Structure 1
């Protein structure tokens, strides 16, 4: 495995490839995304441990969507079985993925805990569902400060797990090393990732404006809420699809490693 340095403009290419690949298999990719989200939502309903267990499976969900994207690039129809087949085909099996998920859950709770030091736990209580945002605090700025602290602290955590599931699965890297390599790849290619993020922001802004315009033209205010919700979910799916291409271009595999993805066919 070798790190590759790409031009900043590659970030826009990743966005374009993610959108194009999604529309090659929209039903399959959207269906898999909704299935994963539903599974995580159901797991989260379990008192106390549900939210933690759901976070443990987030890296596996990311890997499933990346594996499905790989299938879509080959012109194949990715089925829900891709989740299990991808895990079975990994170089180290499912255990490292569970370890990776546990590390994410711990990291997430640490970040949430630090944000509680900023706002007295207001944002943490809202996030965990014990409070409604409107009733959480008499000082909105305090809640916003906690939210901002969480977002800032969660960014490096997200970058550490950006490529980690794929590195563990397709390259056989240990969970700990995969987090380090993911951070290094994001830093060395920071120009491309900044462009990637800005391009997606522009896409979301453009889509939001179109939804608002349609709501005004159709004189259907309800369309704005429903349309925004559906578009947000579909756009999130496209975003997750585009992550595969950032991984593909950030790391070069040798001939032996390149044969590994075919094992999920």
Structure 2
């Protein structure tokens, strides 16, 4: 089996945009519906703090199935969000969510050892992003330490959900296969990651700065940046599906039906 060329990472991004353009309204509606569900869950005390994180693999399968349907020329409906909850793999998907949450906490724990908890307090909302505090701390190194600790986990979880739901693998086997699949195609994933840094981080930052200089209006920045952020997030899920189909065999049946579920729309 030959390795994918490095430029494939850029093609994944381009094909993600192409997939989104086929049904932009439907995919955007799906994402908005997802956001409303997350807001509703977030209202629940205690549970609302961890449930959205644990449910990431579950809802990622909804977006992957949506991308598969778009590629097959089928219409996408918001009810697709609830399909993974009726999948035989739901327990395994929830277990993946718990494991992802645990490894994320482990990575944050590593950052605490570096900067004494400054980064943790900032991302948890316990304190604001005070430039003076940041300058006097090792927050930059803490972020790097957390990223290095979480990198192997992100490789292990990248394809774990679709391998569990579509290829019917156990959690341990799915994590194993995911890690080595990403490791094998590391050059393509490196280009893919750099492309997303340019499109998902640098582009929005430059756009917000230009809007601030031109309009000097916070409301104008929000009006432009919110739809842009939503679009990029949906494209990210679409490109994720493209990476999967290039690395692993596509199920013989359509993904939703392969899970043993039929949808009436």
The TM-score range, normalised by the shorter chain, is 0.7 to 0.9
2:199 is aligned, of 179, 196, 203, to 203
The alpha-carbon distance between structure 1 residues 37 and 262, as it changes in their structure 2 partners (threshold 3 A), is closer
- Tell which deviates more after alignment, 65-74 or 37-46: 37-46
1:1-265 counterparts in 2 under 5 A?
5-88=3-86, 90=87, 92-134=88-130, 137=133, 139-204=135-200, 205-206=202-203, 208-209=205-206, 212-213=209-210, 219-222=214-217, 223-253=220-250, 257-259=251-253, 261=255, 263=257
- Structure 1 distance, partners of 2:227, 2:136, is 28
Shift of 1:209: 4.2
Report the number of matched residues: 256
- Tell which deviates more after alignment, 38-47 or 227-236: 38-47
The alpha-carbon distance between structure 1 residues 132 and 81, as it changes in their structure 2 partners (threshold 3 A), is same
- TM-score normalised according to structure 1 size: 0.85
The alpha-carbon distance between structure 1 residues 113 and 196, as it changes in their structure 2 partners (threshold 3 A), is same
The alpha-carbon distance between structure 1 residues 195 and 209, as it changes in their structure 2 partners (threshold 3 A), is same
**Structure 2: gaps (5+ residues):** none
Q: Over aligned residues, Cα RMSD in angstroms?
A: 2.6
Could you report, residue by residue, the CA deviation over 1:15-60 in whole angstroms, capped at 9, with x for unpaired residues? Answer: 1110011111112212222322332344334444432222110111
- Structure 2 distance, partners of 1:71, 1:136, is 49
